[in-house]
Chains A and B, each alone.
Chain A
Amino acid sequence: MQPVLSVRGVGKTYGSGHRALESVDLDIHRGEIFALLGPNGAGKTTLISIICGIVNPSSGTILVDGHDAIRDAREARSRIGLVPQELSMDMFSTVWATVTFSRGLFGKSPDRAYCEQVLRDLSLFDKKDTPVRMLSGGMKRRVLIAKALAHEPQILFLDEPTAGVDVSLRRDMWRLIGSLRERGTTIILTTHYIEEAEEMADRVGVIDKGQLLLVEQKDALMKKLGKREMHVTLAEPLDAIPAELADWQLTLEDEGHGLLYRFDAQAERTGIPSLLRRMSDLGIGFTDLDTSKSSLEDIFVDLVERR
């Protein structure tokens, strides 16, 4: 199937000489949720801004649903909605005025029923005649989303959608993203909160220093790079790891009160039963066991720091 968004060799060098983006290749599938992860200044916003036409690329081509983003900008842009990171809106106009303005700006004829539905979905309908400046920060962010959805885009970009947003609004946001996906909207989000990508995304891309390091199915990535750990709390502290347990490559932690065992989650045999048997043979007692999966965050930190 043709990707809904195809980025080929897109690079950006700013006038100051700063190279914000190396040559990036990326295909986004129709209807997926794609999370772009990366530290501050990695090039996430630059990449999004180029795709949306706010920043001119230094090189490369972009196809939106088969339309060239520069030569056929009108077709390409009318398919994209952007929710920026900053809460930038005209503060003096009403919610209704700013949302209908966005719809018109993107070339759609007025549709009262549709705009009302967008506001209802975002719990903004009772605020529709309120000036934007009277709204709370979370509400303002909802207005930005309503503006981006006003022209019925096929692709929605969310740049750090939950930065500085409280827990309940974050939950709402996730629910909204889920329901948009059900309606077939492709969603591309950038985030610092890795649990967000872990919970929502179908695929994950990691970007750092202007380079796309990897693009992978989230589940496959977590399986491939994820490690599991077992913490054993000992009944009696040990001074050193006994030689009989060398095979398991254990680490002593908590000043001898605990053992750490790292194992590959994908392996046939985890080695846990044999380890526990050997420990009881040696008379090493334990009071607690705890196993954990490494999160996407661990994987991410590992990837970025390894460079």
Chain B
Amino acid sequence: MKGFNFNGVLAIYRWEMARTGRTLWQSVVAPVITTSLYFVVFGSAIGSRMQSVDGVAYGSFLVPGLIMLSLLTQSISNAALGIYFPKFTGTVFELLSAPVSAIEMVIGYVGAAASKSVLIGLIILATSALFVPLRIDHVWAMLAFLLLTALTFSLFGFIIGIWADGFEQLNVVPVLVVTPLTFLGGAFYSIKDLPEPWHTVSLFNPVAYLVSGFRWSFFGKGDISLGWSLGFIALFLAACLGVVVWIFRTGYRLKS
């Protein structure tokens, strides 16, 4: 399609943000409570027996991993629900009949989902400041990682939402794939401390690259070099974009 339907993108973005607004209580309070619980359990109970990881106090060391855990699951489930819900209720007819191109639809839906998860990430960061002293060496890099990860995984969630046939499928990937990978990807420990062969196995875990890069922006060092982390996000972003382009070109699961 020629031109750009700015009003259409804005309508989708506002619509999705309003959906978030209706569940504001749950959206804001849930991450605050979860983060607090993690700090109580890991930070106080376990952390008191651990001095430091890689020269960083264990409580502070947890912050990037915790944010990353919520960022990944929230981005996926928000974006997946955003596009799955119209399919489920049948309102997708309106999207398909509107003069909105695929790229505009993606900007609206993925943009809104990513905005929401960046917001949640910042809320968790603020909550952490109540429990541990915050140290962020590279603020802009931290924000860039936050934004890029939110965008990439919202795009991934958008794909899941289009693929899903039922509500349980929406949860399969976040619960069965992303959460385990985050736990095993060094969200709560440094994978450098793992004995072989687990250290090498962890290098095949894509989330390890995200956590490591994000942690670098806080403390100036990570488990994996910064280049690898950035390279991985770029690769995953490109893959998701490729799948989305293919979906709209073929009408896969949206149009017969």
Q: Which residues of A contact B225 (CB under 8 A)?
A: none
Q: Would B90 and A88 count as touching, CB distance under 8 A? A: yes
Q: A218 on the interface (CB 8 Å rule)?
A: no
Q: Given A14, A88, A107, which contacts B5 in the complex, CB threshold below 8 Å?
A: A107
Number of interface residues of B (CB under 8 A): 31
For A103, the chain B residues whose CB sits under 8 A away are 7, 11
Best-surrounded residue of A53, A104, A110 (most CB of chain B within 10 A): A104
Contact of B97 (CB < 8 Å), options: A80, A93, A104: A80
A88 touches B98 (CB 8 A): no
Contact A89 B255, beta carbon cutoff 8 Å: no
Q: Is the CB of A74 within 8 A of B5?
A: yes
Q: Which residue of A lies closest to B85 (CB)?
A: A90
In the complex, residue of chain B having the shortest beta-carbon distance to the beta carbon of A108: B7
A263 within 8 A of B: no
A86 to B2, CA, bound (A): 31
Q: Closest Cβ of chain B: how far from A92's Cβ, in Å?
A: 6
Interface positions, chain B 79-106, Cβ under 8 Å from A, are 85-86, 89-91, 93-101
Q: Taking the nearest CB of chain B, how far is it from the CB of A198, in angstroms? A: 29
Known: A73-B1, A74-B99, A97-B18. A88 touches B93 (CB 8 A): yes
Chain B: CB-nearest residue to A84:
B93
A55 interfacial contact with B, CB 8 Å: yes
Q: Chain A nearest CB: distance from B111 CB in Å?
A: 15
The answer to whether B98 touches A89 (Cβ under 8 A) is no
Contact at B256–A82, with CB atoms within 8 Å?
no
78-117 of chain A: CB within 8 A of chain B? 78, 80, 82, 84, 86, 88-93, 97, 100-110
The chain B residue with its CB closest to the CB of A53 is B97
Q: Which chain B residue shows the least CB distance to A81?
A: B97
Contact code string B188-227 (vs A, CB < 8 Å = 1, else 0) = 0000000000000000000000000000000000000000
> With an 8 A cutoff between CB atoms, is B12 at the interface?
yes
The residue in chain B whose Cβ has the minimal distance to the Cβ of A20 is B256
User: Once the chains are docked, how many angstroms separate the CA of A55 from the CA of B1?
Assistant: 17
Does B8 sit at the interface, judged by CB under 8 A? Answer: yes
B22/A86 in contact, CB under 8 A: no
Chain A residues contacting B234 (CB-CB under 8 Å) are none
Chain A residues, CB < 8 A from B22: 92
Residue pair A105, B11 in contact (C-beta under 8 Å) = yes
Q: Top 6 nearest A-B pairs by Cβ distance?
A: A104-B11, A88-B90, A77-B99, A74-B99, A52-B97, A74-B1
Q: Pull 12 A–B residue pairs with CB atoms less than 8 Å apart, ordered by A.
A: A52-B93, A55-B255, A72-B2, A73-B1, A74-B101, A86-B90, A88-B90, A93-B15, A101-B15, A104-B11, A105-B12, A107-B99
A residues sitting closer than 8 Å to B (CB atoms) are 14-15, 52-56, 72-78, 80, 82, 84, 86, 88-93, 97, 100-110, 147
